């Protein structure tokens, strides 16, 4: 691989402001600056160009893993992280670098007008270098997103699902957090097992801590209730807040087969009545 020549360095330096302007123009035209402050875009493009110039000046070569490119790599890692957090996808993130190609090639074409061999060689060289940096950006981006997802997955699964005995024969299951399918399965299994273990007659599923009841959550609830009934026990759903009740109606969910209560204490009262227990003040 041919190295980058000093001429390329000169060409970039001489045309620096035009190059930056065209680059930013290309970024804007492709929506790759959305939600970014203008001054951040200016600062980031100028910084990357400066790092590239430094790298070429120091003969860092075309292998971006070389020590001479350490600062550039670090800069792109920071960029990639911040873009991932802003909700940019990997394509938009890498476009930061790809968008530089067009303007840069124009500059080189101009400079090496009378030296076609050098032009071809330098174009290829610059192109390879930028591609490597783009790949590095994408890899970092992916790592960031994977880390975010993994942490969230763990958080979701970590939420414990306690099964509480409220009374002889009455179990309560306060559900808290997001009922993604994996967790619902765990919840259901532990509840069914406890019903068997304790010989309970009534289970109360409390959904006060579930922020969103959509059709998937409803489907899990319906399945759980069916399984409980098949075991010969009864089930009450509590914690159906007004806004959730209205949403369920609009979704068109038919929960007619379920016994629901607004809060846990109403549900417990109903459970006790069913068991023939009456409480009185002493």
Residue 35: strand, helix, or coil: coil
Choose one: 37-45, 51-59, 144-152, 232-240; the region binding other proteins (CB under 8 A).
Answer: 144-152
Residues 6+ apart with CB under 8 A from 120: none
196/251 with CB nearer other proteins: 251
Residues 276/251, Cβ–Cβ less than 8 Å? no
Among 2, 85, 251, 277, which residue sits at the site for other proteins (rule: CB under 8 A)?
A: 251
3-state secondary structure of 212: coil
User: Of 155-194, which residues contact other proteins (CB under 8 A)?
Assistant: 156, 178, 180-181
Interacting residue with other proteins among 63, 153, 226, 273 (CB under 8 A):
153
Q: In terms of CB distance, is 166 or 258 closer to other proteins?
A: 258
CB of 34 to other proteins, least distance (A): 7
Among 17, 35, 39, 278, binds other proteins (CB under 8 A): 35
Does residue number 66 form part of the binding site for other proteins (CB under 8 A)?
no
Within 13 A of 71's CA, how many CA atoms are on the CB side?
A: 13
Please classify residue 88 by burial: count the beta carbons closer than 10 Å to its beta carbon, then call 0-12 exposed, 13-18 middle and 19+ buried.
buried
Q: Report if residue 207 touches other proteins, rule: CB under 8 A.
A: no
Q: What is the enclosing helix (H) or strand (E) of 252?
A: none
The yes or no reply on residue 28 touching other proteins (CB under 8 A) is no
Contact 236, 272 (CB under 8 A): no
CA distances from 55 to 48, 120, 276 (A): 10, 21, 83
Instruction: Return contacts of 60-66, CB within 8 angstroms, 24+ apart.
Output: 61/3, 62/1, 62/3, 62/4, 62/125, 62/128, 62/129, 62/132, 63/132, 64/129, 64/132, 64/133, 64/136
Binding to other proteins by residue 276, rule CB under 8 A?
A: no
Q: Based on the shown chain and the rule CB under 8 A, indicate whether residue 242 belongs to the binding site for other proteins.
A: yes
Phi, psi of 174 (to 5 degrees): -80, 120
Q: Does residue 226 bind other proteins (CB under 8 A)?
A: no
Position among 2, 147, 196, 216 found at the interface with other proteins (CB under 8 A):
216
Residue 67 near other proteins by CB under 8 A: no
Q: Does 108 bind other proteins (CB under 8 A)?
A: no
Which range of residues in 9-17, 65-73, 107-115, 147-155 is near other proteins by CB under 8 A? 147-155
Contact footprint for other proteins (CB under 8 A): 34-35, 86-89, 145, 149, 152-153, 156, 178, 180-181, 211-216, 218-219, 242-244, 246-247, 250-253
């Amino acid at each position: 691989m041919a190295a980058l020549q000093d001429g390329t360095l000169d060409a970039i330096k001489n045309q620096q402001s035009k190059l930056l302007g065209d680059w930013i123009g290309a970024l804007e035209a492709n929506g790759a600056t959305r939600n970014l402050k203008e001054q951040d875009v200016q600062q980031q493009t100028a910084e990357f160009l400066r790092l590239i110039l430094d790298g070429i000046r120091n003969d860092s070569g075309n292998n971006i893993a070389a020590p001479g490119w350490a600062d550039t790599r670090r800069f792109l890692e920071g960029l990639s992280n911040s873009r991932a957090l802003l909700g940019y996808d990997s394509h938009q993130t890498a476009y930061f670098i790809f968008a530089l190609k067009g303007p840069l090639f124009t500059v080189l074409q101009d400079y090496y007008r009378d030296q076609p061999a050098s032009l071809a060689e330098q174009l290829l060289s610059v192109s390879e270098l930028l591609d490597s940096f783009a790949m590095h950006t994408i890899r970092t981006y992916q790592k960031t997103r994977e880390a975010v997802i993994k942490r969230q997955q763990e958080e979701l699964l970590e939420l414990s699902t306690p099964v509480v005995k409220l009374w002889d024969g009455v179990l309560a299951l306060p559900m808290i957090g997001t009922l993604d399918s994996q967790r619902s399965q765990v919840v259901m299994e532990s509840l069914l097992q406890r019903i068997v273990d304790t010989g309970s007659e009534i289970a109360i599923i409390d959904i006060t801590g579930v922020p969103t009841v959509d059709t998937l959550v409803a489907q899990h609830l319906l399945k759980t209730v069916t399984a409980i009934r098949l075991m010969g026990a009864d089930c009450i759903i509590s914690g159906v807040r007004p806004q959730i009740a209205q949403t369920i109606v609009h979704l068109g969910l038919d929960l007619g087969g379920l016994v629901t209560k607004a809060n846990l204490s109403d549900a417990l009262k109903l459970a006790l009545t069913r068991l023939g227990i009456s409480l009185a003040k002493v």
